[in-house]
Structure 1
Amino acid sequence: MENKIKIANAPCSWGALEFELEGKSLGYEQVLNELVETGYAGTELGDWGFMPTEPGALHDEIAKRNISLLGAFVPVALSNESAHEEGVEKALKVAGLMYDGGYTNAFIVLADENGTVEYRTKNAGRTNGHGSLNDSQMKIFGAGAEKVAKAVKDRYEMRTVFHHHCAGYIETPEEIDAFLQITNPQLVGLCFDTGHYMFGGGTNPVEILEKYWDRVWHVHFKDFSSEVAALSAKNNWDYFQSIQHGVFCQLGKGDVDFESIIQFLKNKNYNGWIVVEQDVLPGMGNPKQCAENNRRYLQSKGL
Structure 2
Amino acid sequence: MTNPNCISWGIAPIGWRNDDIPTIGADNTLSHLLSDICVAGFQGTEVGGFFPEPNILNKELQLRNLKIAGKWFSSYIIQDGLEMTKKKFTDHCRYLQEVNASVAVVSEQTYSIQKKEVSVYKNQPTFSDKEWDLLCTGINELGKIANAFNLKLVYHHHLGTGVQTLSNITRLLEGTDEKYVHLLYDTGHIFVSDGDYMPLLHTHIDRIHHVHFKDVRKEIMDLCKQEDLPFLQSFLKGIFTVPGDGCINFEEVYRVLLENGYNGWIVVEAEQDPSIAHPLEYALLARKYIDEKLVIHT
TM-score, normalised relative to structure 1: 0.88
What does residue range 192-203 of structure 1 map to in structure 2 within 5 Å?
192-203=185-196
Paired residue secondary structure (1:64): helix
Between 1:110-119 and 1:271-280, the stretch displaced more is 110-119
Aligned mates of 1:109, 1:259 — CA distance in 2: 25
Unaligned 5+ runs, structure 2: none
Give 1:112's match in structure 2, choosing from 105, 108, 111: 108
Give 1:162's match in structure 2, choosing from 145, 155, 166: 155
Aligned mates of 1:159, 1:174 — CA distance in 2: 23
**Equivalent residues of 1:162, 1:190 under 8 A apart:** yes
**Equivalent residues of 2:243, 2:289 under 8 A apart:** yes
- 2:127 alignment counterpart: 133
Residue 32 of structure 2 corresponds to residue 30 of structure 1: yes
What does residue range 219-238 of structure 1 map to in structure 2 within 5 Å?
219-238=211-230
Aligned mates of 1:120, 1:52 — CA distance in 2: 28
Aligned mates of 2:244, 2:110 — CA distance in 1: 26
- 1:78 alignment counterpart: 77
Paired residue secondary structure (1:3): helix
Residue 57 of structure 2 corresponds to residue 52 of structure 1: no
User: % of aligned pairs identical?
Assistant: 25
- 1:182 alignment counterpart: 175
Aligned mates of 2:4, 2:23 — CA distance in 1: 44
Q: CA RMSD in A?
A: 2.3
Alignment size in residue pairs: 292
Map Cα deviations across residues 207-243 of structure 1 (whole Å, 9 max, x no partner): 3222212210111100112222211121121101110
Paired residue secondary structure (2:294): coil
What does residue range 280-291 of structure 1 map to in structure 2 within 5 Å?
280-281=272-273, 283-291=275-283
Residue 87 of structure 2 corresponds to residue 89 of structure 1: yes
- 2:250 alignment counterpart: 258
Aligned mates of 2:35, 2:151 — CA distance in 1: 27
- 1:100 alignment counterpart: 98
Following TM superposition, by how much is the alpha carbon of 1:196 offset from its aligned partner in structure 2, in angstroms?
0.5
Amino acid in the other structure paired with 1:42: G
**Equivalent residues of 1:125, 1:201 under 8 A apart:** no
**Equivalent residues of 2:18, 2:24 under 8 A apart:** no
Residue 286 of structure 2 corresponds to residue 294 of structure 1: yes
Residues 131 and 94 of structure 1: CA distance in aligned 2, closer, same or farther (over 3 Å): closer
Aligned mates of 1:260, 1:298 — CA distance in 2: 13
Amino acid in the other structure paired with 1:28: L
Unaligned 5+ runs, structure 1: none
